Amino acid sequence: MEDQQAVSAQFQSYMENPLLWPTLEVLRKQPRGWKVHTLAAHLGELGLIPILDAAADKDLFKRNFLIMNALYQLQETLYPDNWLQVEAMDIVLMPVHQVPGHAIDENDPLRDYYTHWENYEADEGEVKRLLNEFWTRYHEFVGGGSSNVVSIDRHRALRLFNLPQDASKTEIRKTWRKLALKWHPDRDSGDSDRFRVLCEAWHVLRQQY
């Protein structure tokens, strides 16, 4: 639509697709054998992807866009400790010993397309609403907001992230990714309880962007 606003550069620099972490869970359990549509179907079965558009073709496009966006963000997050091969028909999470020879191609036209939110055909407000809804689903999926999680305010959330009260949006997001990757329950050294608390903290901080 002509009156749609372009997604701002500032928004693109800090907005995180919440499908990163459920996608990581899936790939750690089954590192290969995935295609975009099978990965989307599996995440849908987990209740993490709702119907995105009344028109079937647009719904399919938007699902594919969100999966590819998540994969490219996850590729950057995992590198150089792991290599995530992002191909529509062959998605593979490779261990550290297979990383040599692989590098993120900043000039890849597909990467450029799927990491720019305006290509989702939505203005900034709609993308924020969509990702807020997705994050809420994942937050509930991992047990966030349950009775055994102490209520967290911004001050405590930043302390859990070991960040100052004036931390920038970029610092907060980078720290969240680092901590989430460290404590994710699918890692050998992971801790599901700590991961849930960190999710709670991120849920508080991200709503104040």
Mean pLDDT of 159-167: 93
Q: CB of 135 within 8 A of CB of 199?
A: no
Q: Tokens standing for 119?
A: 């290509």
pTM here is: 0.81
* Residue 2 scores a pLDDT above 50: no
Q: How many C-beta atoms surround the C-beta of residue 152 within 10 A?
A: 20
CA distance 85 to 1: 34
Q: Residue ranges of the domains in the chain? A: 1-123, 150-207
* Residue 55 scores a pLDDT above 90: no
* Residue 7 confidence (pLDDT): 64
Pick the CATH number of 150-207 from 1.10.260.40, 3.30.70.270, 2.80.10.50, 1.10.287.110: 1.10.287.110
* Relative orientation angle of helices 124-141 and 20-29, to the nearest 10 degrees: 50
Q: How many C-beta atoms surround the C-beta of residue 83 within 10 A?
A: 21
Q: How would you write the chain as a 3-class SS string?
A: CCCCCCCCHHHHHHCCCCCHHHHHHHHHHCCCCECHHHHHHHHHHCCCCCCCCCCHHHHHHHHHHHHHHHHHHHHHHHCCCCEEECCCCCEEEECHHHCCCCCCCCCCHHHHHHCCHHHHCCCHHHHHHHHHHHHHHHHHHCCCCCCCCCCCCHHHHHHHCCCCCCCCHHHHHHHHHHHHHHHCCCCCCCCHHHHHHHHHHHHHHHCCC
What value does the mean pLDDT of the chain take?
A: 85
CA angle 126, 113, 180 (to 5 degrees): 70
* Residue 14 scores a pLDDT above 60: no
Listed in sequence order, the residues at least 6 apart from 45 whose beta carbon sits closer than 8 Å to its beta carbon are none
pLDDT in tens, 90-124: 999 998 888 888 999 989 999 999 988 888 887 77
CA 146 to chain centre: 22
